[in-house]
Structure formats: C-alpha cells, structure tokens
Structure 1
Amino acid sequence: MSKFDGYFLRQLLVLCGFFAFVLVGVFWISKAVSLFDRLISSGQTAMVALEFTALTLPTLVRTVMPMAAFCATVYVTNRLNRESEMTVMLATGSSPFRLARPVILFGLICAAMLATITLYLRPAAMLRLEARQAEVAGDMTAQLLNDGQFMHPVKGVTVYIGKIDRDGTLNDVYLSDRRAPERVVTYTSSKAYLARSGEQIALVMVEGTALQMETGRKTLSTTVFRDFSYDISALAKRDIERRQGIRGMPTLALAAALSGGELSETYSQGEIAEELQERLSWIGVSVAVTLIGFSTLMLGTFSRFGLWPQLIAAFAGLIALEGMRSTATAFVATHPGLWWVQHAPALGGICLSIMFLMIAGRPLRLRQRPSADLA
C-alpha cells in the first residue's frame, strides 16, 4: 500500500467513525427518550430502561453504517478534489481504478463489520430484547408499583395506589374488577401488600371494604373485611402464546430452515428467505455505497465551483439503491426461490460504479494519444 492509499484510507475510517457516532447518537437519543419514559412510568428501573436501549444499538449501527460509509467517501473524495490532491494523482498517471483501491478496501472493512453485526450481534440482541420484553410485560409487581395514578393492567381492571412506603406497604388501595359485566366488584383498603409464591401473585388487602353490584338484579352488597387476598396472577396471562420473532433467530438456524429445519413449521419459506437474504444483502451494500460515492465524484473535472452536480447525483444513487432494496425485500418474501433478487441492487450499484470509473479514465487515455502519436 502506497502512502497515498494509507492517507486516503485513514481519512475514510476517521470520517466514517465520526459520521456513525453522530448518526447513532441522534437516532439513539430520540428513541431512548420515549423508551425511558414508557418503561419508568410503568414501574421499571433506570437500569432496565438502559438495558433495553443498549439492546437496540446493533440495529441502529447496522442502519446507519452504510450511510456513514457513503458520507465519509463523498466528503473525503470531494475534499481531495477541492484541494487538488486528486488532480495531482491523476496527472502523475494514476487511473481512477488505481485511486479506487483504498475505497474498495474501506468498503470491505465496513462489510466485515456489518457482517459481524448483522449475522451475529443483532440477532442475539433481538433475542435478548424479546425475552426481556416478555419478562417486563408479565411482571405485575412492577406494573402495580406506581402510586398516585390510575392503572389498567388488563381491560376491565382498574388499580389505584395512593402512596407506597419504603418497606413496600401500599396505602389507600382501590381496585375495580369489571371483567364480568353482570357482576362488578370494587375493593378499597387502607393498606395492602404484594405477596408472591412461585408464579402466584396475590394482593393482600387489610382493613377494607368490598362493594359488589349485580347489574341483572340491580342490587348492591357491602362487605367489610379485616384482610382479604385477591389473586392477580391471572392478570399476567396472555390470551395468545408469544411466538419467538424471526429477527432474533440465529443466522445458521435460518439457513437450515430453508432446507426443512425446525423453523419451517413456524414460518413460511418466504419469511425465512426474506430475513436471511436481507441480512446477507447488507454486506454487499456497504461496498456498493462507497463505490457509488467515489465513482460518481470521479466523473467531474477540477472546478472552482466544486462538484455539486456529482454530489447530487451520488445522493440520488444512494436513494435509488435503498428504494430498490426495499422493493427486492418485498419481492423475495413472495418469491423465495428468486432469493438472488435481494442482492441485485448491490451488484447493480457495483457494476454501475465500475462503468463510471471507466468513463472517468477515458479522458486520460484520449489526452495521452496525441503525445504518443507525436513520438
């Protein structure tokens, strides 16, 4: 590797890291604020909210990495051209293909990073996130430990807690059970406690009153109790069994499912092929976007006004590539046998970049012909 290649590659890596850090920070903060508010308001601790946001980082990094690589390539290439460094290299006889060598190496480095994130880190994070979401959704203790507000754990049940002491004592408890329209029961008590035995959760109320209204007979009965236990375990049950998401499945398991593995009984071949090929397509995209950004800017010549037409064309190519990838993903979901369509946009972008580099190198050869003929 020449000094220019090392210099070019270092600039690309530094700028890519900077753009990735900024983009991940912007997306992560905007998503973390709403997630923190929702989890903390439901009784979860700040550590649980931080864990949830950390588990979304692989998805965010995968999303912004191609954009960061593209922006780094365009920015560095434009700066080298504006400072005449690229012009000097072309004047010394270096072809656009020769100058693209550090860009290709940079794209391969980004591809290796995306392969690690997409094929391993993101599925593992999604699997852990789904498990933690199920735990939080079924944690009735956390849902009930909110004082000063009306809560609705399930449809037809309303709970209100006036104050929660440090030792866990619940004060001024109100519970209304309207799940059976013909029999509405309302419990009030001065104090209550949450008791757990295995998977059973009970709300033990003391010094309270139970009001039972029979809507059919239009009667109201009042019962004063010294202590009463209300089983709330049923509130944590779900009407349907949770199916493990395909995004959290290991990549090797998805590959095995295409040939009739265990997942083929849970998901269709279209869903499996779409998820597997979508993961693999990110690897080629990282190479394609860097080459598109570099080759498009190489079409322009030195100008004091910059390379604005080429910059606009490069961003248009990036948007077109993402649009074709979205269309290909939907197509593969309905036609799993044509899985190669998912990789066609990336391959098309690479081929288009090669054509742009050939066009950019042609003026050099044309200028060299007269000097050769005179010799």
Structure 2
Amino acid sequence: MSRFDRYVLSQLLVLFGFFALVLVSIYWINQAVRLFDRLIGDGQSAFVFLEFTVLSLANVIRMVLPMAVFAATVYVTNRLSNESELVVMQATGFSPWRLARPVVVFGIGTGLMMAALTHYLVPSSLAQLQLREAEVARNVTARLLTEGTFLHPTDGVTFYIREIDPDGTLRDVFLSDRRAPDRAITYTAARAYLVNDDAGSRMVMLDGLAQNFSLSENRLSTTHFTDYNFDISAAVEKTVAPALRVRDIPTMQFLRNFDGIIAEQKFKPGHVVEELHSRMSQSFLCVVAALVGFSSLLIGGYSRFGVWRQILGALVLLVMVKFIEGLVTDPVQKDPSLWPLTYLPIVFGLAASMAILWYVGRPRRPRRRLVEVGA
C-alpha cells in the first residue's frame, strides 16, 4: 500500500470513528430514554436498565454503520478536493480507479465489521435481550413495587401501595380481586410484605380488612384480620418463554443444522433464506456506501456553491439502493429460489459507482475552435 493510500485510509478511519460515535450515541440515547421510562417505571433496578441498553448496542451499531461509512467518505473526499490533493494526484497520473483503491479497502474493512455484527453479535444479543425481557416480565416483585400508582398486573386485579419503607415494608395496601365473575374481594391493610419462596410470590398483609361482595346474593361480608397470606403470583398474568425468531439465531447455527432448525422452530424457509442472504448483503452495503460517496463527489469541477448537488445525487443513489432492497424482500420470502434478488441492490450500487468512475476517467477530446473566415 502506497503512502497516499495509507494517508487517505487513515483520514477515512478517523472520520468514520467520529461519525459512528455520534450516530450511535443519538440512536442509543433515543432507545435508552424509552427503556429507562419502561423499566424504571416497572420497578426495575438501574443494573437491569444498563444490561438492556448494552444488549441493544450491537443492533444500533448495525443500523448506523453504513451511514457512518457514507458520511466519512463524503467528508474526506470533499476535503481532499477542496485542498487540491485529489487534483495533484490526478495530475501525477492517478486515474479515478486508482484514487478509489483506499476507499475500496476502507469499505471492505467496515464490511468485515458489519459481517461480524450481522452473523453473530446482533443475533446473539437480540436473543439474550428477548430472554431477559421475559425474565423481567416474570419478576412479580419488581412489577408490583411502585408507590402511589394503581397497577393492573392482570385482568380483574388492581393493586396500590401508598408508600414503601427502606426496609421493604409496604404501607397502606389496597388489593382488588375481581377475577371471579360472581364475586369481588377487596383487601386493605396497614402494612404488608412481599415474600418469595419455592411456591411463588406471596403477600403477607397485617392489620387489614377483607370485603367480600357476592353479586348473585347482592350481599357484602367483611372480615378483620391480623395477618393474611395472599398468593400474589396467581394474580399476576403468566408469561411464557419467548420463541426464537429467525433474526435471533447466529448464521453458524443455521449452517450446521439448517433443516433441523427450520423443523424445530417451525420457521418458513423463505424467511430464513432471506434473512441469511440479507446478512451477507449488508456487509457489501458498506462497500457500496463508500464507493457511492466517493465517486459522486468526483463529478464536476470547482463551484463556489459547493458540492451539495453531488452529495444530493449520492443520497439519491443510496435511497434507490434501499428502495430496491425493500422491493426484493417479499418475493424472496415467498419463494426461496429467488435468493439472488437479495443482492440486486448491491449490484445496482456497484454498477452506478463504476459507471460514475468510468465517466469521470474517460478520455476527453479537446474542443475545436471555430474560426470565422471572411469571404
């Protein structure tokens, strides 16, 4: 690799790291705010919130990686052009194809990063995230320990706590059980404790009152109690273990036992084939994003209005690539034999970039001057 290639590649990597950090931060913070509101509002700890945000990080990086590649390529190419470095290299005999070599290396490097994400890191993190979400949903204690809010853990059950002491004592507890169609029971207690054992979660209420209203007899009976044991786990909606999705399984597992996984998980073959080839095409998308951003900025000469038209043209090409990607998804899912269509967006992007590089590097004939000769 020549000194020029190393120089351009170092510039691309530095700007890629900057744009990736900015874009990941924006997407990650947006997801973290929603996770914080949902998890902390449900009584989960800060550690659970941190765990969920870390598990979602791989998928966020996957989404922003092509955008960071495109932004870095456009920025570096524009700066090299404004500082006449590209003009100098072209004057020494470098063709557009030769100038694009460090960009291709940069695209391949980021494509390998994308491959590691799409084939292993993202599926593994999404599967673990789904599993942890199910475990949190089964955590009865965390779902009920919320002060000053009427909670509905399942249909027909309403739960309220006025205050929770530092030692875990629940103050002024209200529990309404209307699951039976002909009976409504309301419990009120001055104090209560949540206890977990092998049988499940139970709430021990102290110094309270139970009001039993029979709809068929239209009669209300009350019972004062010193302590009462209520099976709270039976009053909470049961959650089942989540089923694996196609995107939750790493590629190597599919390659080792393709037919077995489809039969076991009852996946549709078209969805599996489309997912696997989509993971491959996303790696090539980084190369396409880099070449589109570089080649588009080589069109045209110097303009005092800047290169906004070239950048707009590059964005239009990327939008067309993603548009074609959306068009071919459904046909491949319906008919797995059409899997080559998955790579049609990549072929279109590479063809457009190569056409632009050919157009920029084509030999130009000098214009003939027309000389008017008098009669």
TM-score by length of 1: 0.93
- CA deviations on 1:176-208 (whole Å, 9 max, x unpaired) are 011223111111111111111125111111211
* Residue of structure 1 equivalent to 2:275: 275
Counterpart code for 1:29 = I
| Corresponding residue SS for 2:252 | helix
Which of 69-78 and 342-351 deviates more? 342-351
Counterpart code for 2:95 = S
Query: Does 2:255 correspond to 1:261?
Result: no
- 2: CA distance between counterparts of 1:332 and 1:238? 37
* Residue of structure 2 equivalent to 1:247: 247
Q: Give structure 1 regions of 4+ aligned residues with deviation exceeding 6 angstroms.
A: none
- 2: CA distance between counterparts of 1:270 and 1:332? 6
- 2: CA distance between counterparts of 1:105 and 1:111? 10
* Residue of structure 2 equivalent to 1:62: 62
Structure 1 runs not aligned, ≥5 long: 368-375
- 2: CA distance between counterparts of 1:321 and 1:239? 41
Query: Does 2:168 correspond to 1:168?
Result: yes
Which of 298-307 and 323-332 deviates more? 298-307
| Corresponding residue SS for 1:329 | helix
Give how far 1:253 is off.
2.3
Check whether the contact 1:257–1:264 (CA below 8 A) recurs between aligned residues: no
Matches for 1:176-191 after TM superposition, within 5 Å: 176-191=176-191
- CA deviations on 1:211-233 (whole Å, 9 max, x unpaired) are 11111221111111221111122
Give how far 1:85 is off.
1.2
Identity of aligned residues (%): 47
Matches for 1:272-311 after TM superposition, within 5 Å: 272-311=272-311
- 1: CA distance between counterparts of 2:302 and 2:177? 76
Query: Does 2:7 correspond to 1:7?
Result: yes
* Residue of structure 2 equivalent to 1:337: 337
* Residue of structure 2 equivalent to 1:349: 349
Counterpart code for 1:112 = L
Give how far 1:109 is off.
0.6
- CA deviations on 1:282-338 (whole Å, 9 max, x unpaired) are 111011111111112222223343333221110111111112112222332222221
| Corresponding residue SS for 1:212 | strand
* Residue of structure 1 equivalent to 2:372: none
Give how far 1:248 is off.
1.6
Which of 123-132 and 321-330 deviates more? 321-330
Which of 239-248 and 13-22 deviates more? 239-248
Which of 340-349 and 323-332 deviates more? 323-332
Check whether the contact 2:137–2:239 (CA below 8 A) recurs between aligned residues: no
Check whether the contact 1:62–1:114 (CA below 8 A) recurs between aligned residues: yes
- 2: CA distance between counterparts of 1:236 and 1:97? 65
Matches for 1:1-375 after TM superposition, within 5 Å: 1-238=1-238, 242-256=242-256, 258=258, 260-265=259-264, 266-363=266-363, 366=365
Check whether the contact 1:87–1:302 (CA below 8 A) recurs between aligned residues: no
- 2: CA distance between counterparts of 1:199 and 1:247? 35
Give how far 1:118 is off.
1.2
- CA deviations on 1:222-248 (whole Å, 9 max, x unpaired) are 111221111122244537663123322
